Amino acid sequence: MNYDIIIIGAGIVGCSIARELSSYNGSVVVLEKENDVSVGTTKANSGIAHAGFDAKVGTLKAKFNVLGNKMMPSLSNDLDFPFKQNGAIVLGFEEESLEILKDLLNRGIVSGVERLKIISKDEILKLEPNVNPNVKYGLLAPTSGIVSPYEMAIAYVENASSNGVRFDFNSEVIRIERDKNEYVVTTASNKTYVGKVIINCAGVYSDKIHSLASNKKSPFTVISRKGEYCLLDKMYGDMASHTLFQTPSKLGKGVLVTPTTHGNLLVGPNAQDEVDNANVDTTIEGLKEIWDKASLTMPNLPKRGVITQFAGLRSHLKESDDFIIGFDNELIGFYDVAGIESPGLTAAPAIAKHVSKEVATYLNLGINLHFNPIRKAIPQISALPNEVREKLIKENPLYGHIICRCEVVSEGEIVEAIHRVPGAKDLDGIKRRTRAGMGRCQMGFCTPKIMEILARELHEDIDEITKNGHHSYMVEKR
Amino acid sequence: MINHDLVIVGGGPAGLAAAIGAYESGIKDILIIEREEHLGGILNQCIHNGFGLHTFKEELTGPEYASRYINKVLEYKIPYKLNTTVIDLNGDKVITALNESDGLLLIQAKAIVLACGCRERPRGAINIAGSRCSGIYSAGTAQKLVNIDGLKVGKEVVILGSGDIGLIMARRMTFEGAKVKAVVELMSYSSGLNRNIVQCLNDFDIPLYFSHTVIEIKGKDRLEKVKIAKVDEHLNPILDTAFEIECDTLLLSVGLLPENELARNYDVNLSKTTNGAIVNENMMTSKEGIFECGNVLHVHDLVDYVSEESYLAGKMAAKYLNGELNLKSKVLTVNPTNGIRYTVPQLINIDDNYSPIQFKMRVSNVFKNVEIRLLVDDEVIFKKYKQIVTPGEMETLNIKEDLVKKIKQGSKIEITLFRRS
Ligand SMILES: Cc1cc2nc3c(=O)[nH]c(=O)nc-3n(C[C@H](O)[C@H](O)[C@H](O)COP(=O)(O)OP(=O)(O)OC[C@H]3O[C@@H](n4cnc5c(N)ncnc54)[C@H](O)[C@@H]3O)c2cc1C
Ligand SMILES: Cc1cc2nc3c(=O)[nH]c(=O)nc-3n(C[C@H](O)[C@H](O)[C@H](O)COP(=O)(O)OP(=O)(O)OC[C@H]3O[C@@H](n4cnc5c(N)ncnc54)[C@H](O)[C@@H]3O)c2cc1C
């Protein structure tokens, strides 16, 4: 198949670029090696829409972070994904912290972050009564927010798809060849795609993709750096209302404690260099480390409140501390979006605008007059007023059948998640789209029912249902 | 809005017995709400026998036991709604429920019995590091897949937790042709019934590792192996004792969580120890007219006790509806001390109608040669000798009316373990 643009990787970067490109006239395909969107780094991070005071002044990180943060409110409105501007506080526990906080404040001001302010211990404890009373100073950043990263990516993808972008899953790119003025991309299942431009959004694999195309060592090397988290029950979600960072010190960057958009409490991450790009296992030492560090922020964190742990990989570049965004100097029509570590999630909307404009100009693409920027989320029975619930169930009785007890998710929501394009194909896909299985019992109760619904709606046998694609089967072959 | 005198949330053994208790005490306007397709609760997936020894003096399977109560409910023509989930409780006992045929149901109740049962604790709650591959199930989920859906969950199995559900699943998986390679237990004792250890593990030569735990999970797509280590006296893993077992399935039987969302949102006072409501001897919670019983109140090991407790809750709800409960009496707290972890009820009312009280309780550790004592104002008014008590087996004290009379306004009540040397 021939396309104007082939995007490799369906993380937040690939998904947001795909959607922005769909506002131009051009054919776009996204190739993703996994069974779903947002299963790489984009599903496992802090989910903070950073204000932008952290990145060094003048870097791409700072520029796109601040721009992306400003886009978040209206974008979350258009695409209907969970976002809340809850503000952040960087907590200082030492006298020396004040100087560092002032530095951050100044950096932020120069980069264009608004309303930053140093606050006192009393002000902090008034805003956040559960914070360690030994806190001395804080930097308040009211423009910081929280976002559900995988729902943001899914929203982007559904919108891109309705505007004509094609998504192919289980399509690992293993070969990239140059044929005349085009690239021929081959996947592990031996399908080929021909495109004029390749956009490399492969996250921790972006150096590998680059060298597939260039046939030599990539000019940049990704060091994947693992970050681990603990997620707490919603019962404890209100222990913090702001995102609480620790002041960076000799001991490192510290960990954060933050509420999530769904009202849980999230604690983490640490930072461990990891050689294996596919290894997102949590570790005994790592989980202990984040817990110990988080206890500095909040001494009363309830360990029994933890419902799950996870880890994600930062794609840190060996050669540079900044994002790499742009056409390669040697490879014609090959565009890298690499080294997109934090604040990559926040920056993605702004990066996508920038990249799509550059690529559209390069290919001379016109504006897509049919582009519709609006996408609606799946209705959530748990969050709706009674009148709307009644109407919805009347139209589709499946909305009256509750499947997930912890998060109160109905069969209607699950069926819709399966039939959206691109839809959920496995248990984790249902989870990210509907929250069924994300609560207190972590799918203990609803697993059998969701397996049944998936099999029925996808016309598959129940023994073909997986947790997250590949060979992650749930039950034995019959 | 529809009206009912008594609404029972949950149609498991607790809800069924509560309905029968209320009916036999004269309440006819009852509605049972159950979210599954059948009445019977968790018993429907417990196809092994061993139920009802206490009540019926015979060994029934879970579904057989449940059907005795379901038949009574049918005989009494007590109305129930299936496939209906209660999602909220608010206002003055207004229930919000959903199902496919009625859509949204708003029900004004005069009294409510919460009999919602419990859920299993997930892997995350016990902080096991490693991969998040498939093949890790809570034991009850696996039980449902195997017993109800007729599926095979795996070939080589490790089970974490030697509670009854874990033990029963060890045998069940063996019957299904799987190899159960180990049952691993954090504590130095099992919280399951002794008969289950014998019948489910020993009879099949399944090794049981006490004072061990699973510390890491490995596997790319599906589980490949688990790492197990011995724990020290503080239950912390001793890393250099670690060894690996290859398996494709890990079943977790690591505790149950009473399902108290409705109660919590309704500001019912909950106990940090049981995670259930704090109730008085009438099974009434801190909210007038809201009763709780069964596994949502505290985790029981025998369903017979669930039925007994819930029958009482139904009866008391009826008394409440008939205006026969004294709501103004003085409330006393029962203090569990010295090895008693909790008691149910946690509170008792003192009025002039003395009736017998049954205290249920769990101990915090294994103790031998002990007396469970009830003290009123530091005087032992009742004691029961036990050769051994374990956290896995619920203990009861039945206090007769004449002894209950010794409890006066302002009395100090204590239930304690006394060690005979
Ligand atoms: C611990 C941690 C915390 C973070 N916290 C924040 C935060 O709070 N705020 C913030 O703004 N940012 C944060 N980030 C950064 C943010 O998560 C990332 O910048 C962002 O998710 C990167 O998205 P991506 O699309 O580049 O990568 P990914 O989501 O990893 O997407 C890359 C995709 O490419 C696919 N792929 C790879 N190779 C191939 C191939 N050969 N063929 C086909 N497909 C392929 C992968 O399967 C994957 O789906 C954090 C990151 C980490 C690790
Ligand atoms: C594997 C296993 C083995 C066991 N073995 C034995 C044994 O050998 N002998 C023995 O005596 N006991 C045994 N038991 C214990 C016994 O089954 C339980 O004690 C008993 O089922 C608890 O009854 P319950 O009614 O409190 O809870 P459940 O049986 O869990 O019933 C609660 C019901 O409430 C419904 N519900 C909850 N919330 C709502 C809502 N919001 N709206 C509508 N409906 C709702 C649920 O769907 C459920 O049907 C075993 C249990 C298990 C899991």
From A7, A41, A340, A346, the mutation candidate for ligand 1 (largest count of ligand atoms within 8 A of CB) is: A41
Token pair for B50? 């061993």
Average pLDDT over residues A380-401: 97
Q: How far is the CA of B284 from the centre of ligand 2 (A)?
A: 20
**B3-59, pLDDT tens digit by residue?**
999 999 999 999 999 999 999 999 999 999 999 999 999 999 999 998 999 999 999
What phi, psi does B124 have (nearest 5°)?
-55, -35
Q: Which residues of A touch B35 (CB under 8 A)?
A: 402, 405
d(CA B32, CA B30): 7
B234 lies within 8 A of chain A by CB: no
Q: In the prediction, which pLDDT does B305 show? A: 95
Identify the bridge partners of residue A31 per DSSP, sorted by sequence position.
A8, A168
Q: Single out the residue of B261, B355, B287 nearest to residue B278, CA to CA.
A: B287
Q: How confident is the model at residue B348 (pLDDT cuts 50, 70, 90)?
A: very high
Q: How far apart are CA B265 and CA B85, in angstroms?
A: 16
For residues A134 and A93, what is the distance between their CA atoms, to the nearest angstrom? 6
* Distance in angstroms (rounded) separating the CA atoms of residues B104 and B88: 11
ipTM of this predicted structure: 0.95
Q: What is the pLDDT of residue A89?
A: 98
Question: Rounded to 5 degrees, what are φ and ψ at B387?
Answer: -65, -40
CB < 8 Å to A230, chain B: 127
Could you say which ligand is closest to the alpha carbon of residue B65?
2
Strand B103-114 to B2-9 pairing: parallel
- Residue B121, helix vs strand vs coil: coil
Residue A426 near residue A454, CB atoms below 8 Å: yes
- Nearest residue of A to residue B97, measured between CA atoms: A400
Which of the four pLDDT bands, split at 50, 70 and 90, describes residue B193?
confident
Q: Contacts by A19-22 with C-beta closer than 8 Å and gap 24+? A: A19/A156, A19/A157, A19/A159, A19/A160, A19/A163, A19/A165, A19/A352, A20/A352, A20/A353, A20/A355, A20/A356, A21/A160, A21/A165, A21/A356, A21/A359, A21/A360, A22/A159, A22/A160, A22/A163, A22/A164, A22/A165, A22/A368, A22/A371
Query: What is the spatial distance between Cα A139 and Cα A104, in angstroms, rounded to a whole number?
Result: 8
Distance of CA A402 to the CA centre of its chain: 28
Phi/psi class of residue A476: alpha, beta or left (left: φ > 0; alpha: ψ in -120 to 50)?
beta
B161-196 as b/e: b if 16+ CB within 10 A: bbbbbbbbbbbbbbebebebbbbbbbbeebbbbeeb
What distance in angstroms lies between residue A99's CA and the mean position of ligand 1's atoms?
A: 33
Q: Give the A window 443-462 contacts with B, CB below 8 Å.
A: 443-445, 447-448, 452, 462
- Amino acid A220: pLDDT: 97
Residue range A86-112: mean pLDDT, rounded: 97
SS3 B411: coil
Chains A & B: contacts with CB separation below 8 Å: 152
pLDDT, tens digit, for every residue of B241-281? 999 999 999 999 999 989 999 999 999 999 999 999 999 99
Q: What pLDDT was estimated at residue A55?
A: 95
* Preceding omega of A422 cis (within 30 degrees of 0): yes
Contact B33, B16 (CB under 8 A): no
Here the tokens at position A421 are 């394009």
Q: At CA B92, angle to CA B90 and CA B98, rounded to 5?
A: 40
Judged by a CB distance cut-off of 8 A, whether residue A357 touches chain B is no
Q: Taking 90 as the threshold, does the pLDDT of residue A232 lie above it?
A: yes
- Scan for tokens 């029912």, then name that residue: A449
Residue whose token pair is 């072959």: A477
Residue A469: list chain B partners with CB under 8 A: 221
Q: Does A396 touch chain B (CB under 8 A)?
A: no
The rounded Å distance from CA A439 to ligand 1 centre is 24
Distance CA A110, CA A108 (A): 5
Rounded percentage of chain B residues whose pLDDT exceeds 90: 90
Q: Give the list of residues 6+ apart from residue B202 with CB closer than 8 angstroms, or none.
A: none
CB contact under 8 A, A402 and B96: no
Q: Which residues line ligand 2 (CB under 6 A)?
A: B 9-15, 33-36, 41-43, 46, 50-51, 85-86, 115-117, 140, 143, 164-165, 168, 259, 294-296, 300, 302-304, 306
Of B119, B217, B221, the CB nearest to A472: B221
With contacts defined as CB-CB under 8 Å, which chain A residues touch B96?
Answer: 386
Could you tell me which chain B residue has the CA closest to the CA of A452?
B149
Does the beta carbon of B155 lie under 8 angstroms from any beta carbon of chain A?
Answer: yes
Looking at residue A478, what is its pLDDT?
83
Cα→Cα distances A277→A41, A61, A312, Å: 11, 23, 10
The answer to whether B242 faces chain A, any CB pair under 8 Å, is no
* Model pLDDT, residue B352: 66
Closest CA relative to residue A10, chosen from A193, A177, A182, A155 = A155
Closest of B211, B223, B209, B212 to residue B251, by C-alpha: B223
- Mean pLDDT, chain A, whole residue set: 97
A263 at B interface, C-beta within 8 A: no
Tabulate helix, strand, coil % of chain B (nearest 5): 25, 35, 40
Average pLDDT score over residue span B391-406? 92
Chain B residues near residue A312 by CB distance under 8 angstroms: none
Whether A38 contacts A422, CB under 8 Å: no
| Chain B contacts in chain A segment 409-448 (CB below 8 A) | 410, 440-445, 447-448
CB contact under 8 A, B141 and A390: no
pLDDT exceeds 80 at position B351: no
A474 contacts B122? CB cut-off 8 A: no
Q: Taking residues B321-339, report their average pLDDT.
A: 93
What is the CB-side half-sphere exposure of residue A468 using CA atoms within 13 A? 20
Residue that has been written with the tokens 């120069």 in this structure = A110
Residue B328: the pLDDT is: 84
Lining residues, ligand 1, CB within 6 Å: A 8-14, 31-34, 39-42, 45-48, 50, 172-173, 201-203, 205, 209, 227, 269, 312-314, 340-346
Rounded distance between C-alpha atoms, residue A225 and residue B302, angstroms: 49
Mutate to test the pocket of ligand 1, among A15, A38, A45 (most ligand atoms within 8 A of CB): A45
- Confidence at residue A321, expressed as pLDDT on a 0 to 100 scale: 95
Best mutation target, A307, A472, A477, to test chain B (most B CBs within 10 A): A472
Measured CA to CA, the distance from residue B246 to residue B224 in angstroms comes to 6
**Terminal alpha carbon distance of chain A:** 37
Q: Is B98 on the interface with A (CB under 8 A)?
A: yes
In this predicted structure, the answer to whether residue B103 has a pLDDT above a threshold of 90 is yes
Task: Give dist(CA A313, CA A210) in Å, integer.
Answer: 19
Atom of ligand 2 nearest to the CA of B262: 41
Q: Tell me whether residue A50 is one of the annotated catalytic residues.
A: yes
Q: If you average pLDDT over residues B213-233, what whole number do you get?
A: 97
Contact (CB, 8 A) for A14 and A352: no
Tell me the chain B residues in contact with residue A286 when contact means C-beta distances shorter than 8 Å. Answer: 129
Report the pLDDT value the prediction gives residue A310, as an integer from 0 to 100.
96
Nearest-CA distance B125 → chain A (Å): 5
pLDDT at A15 over 70: yes
Question: What mean pLDDT is reported for chain B?
Answer: 95
Residue B179 identity: K
Kindly report, residue by residue over A274-290, the tens digit of the pLDDT.
888 889 999 999 999 99
d(CA B300, CA B42): 13
The Cα-based distances of B196 to B48, B118, B140, B202 in angstroms read: 11, 21, 16, 9
How many whole angstroms separate alpha carbon B337 and alpha carbon B359? 14
| Structure tokens given for A153 | 């990516």
- Domains annotated for chain A, with CATH where assigned, are 83-145+223-310 (3.30.9.10), 381-464 (1.10.10.1100)
Which pLDDT band holds residue B194 (cuts at 50, 70, 90)? confident
Q: Is B296 helix (H, G, I), strand (E, B) or coil?
A: helix
Tell me chain B's radius of gyration from C-alpha atoms. 22
Query: CA A129, CA A89: separation in Å to the nearest integer?
Result: 13
Of the candidates A407, A138, A135, the residue with the CA atom closest to the CA atom of residue A260: A407
Based on DSSP, count helices (H) and strands (E) in chain B, helices before strands: 9, 28
Instruction: Judge contact between A118 and A139, C-beta under 8 A.
Output: yes
Sign of CA dihedral A118, A124, A127, A132: positive
Average pLDDT of the residues in B353-367: 91
Task: Give contacts of B123 with chain A, Cβ < 8 Å.
Answer: 308, 442
Chain A residue at shortest CA distance from B259: A406
- Mutation to probe ligand 1, out of A30, A345, A351, A428 (largest number of atoms < 8 A from CB): A345
pLDDT at A312: 97
Whole-structure pTM value? 0.96
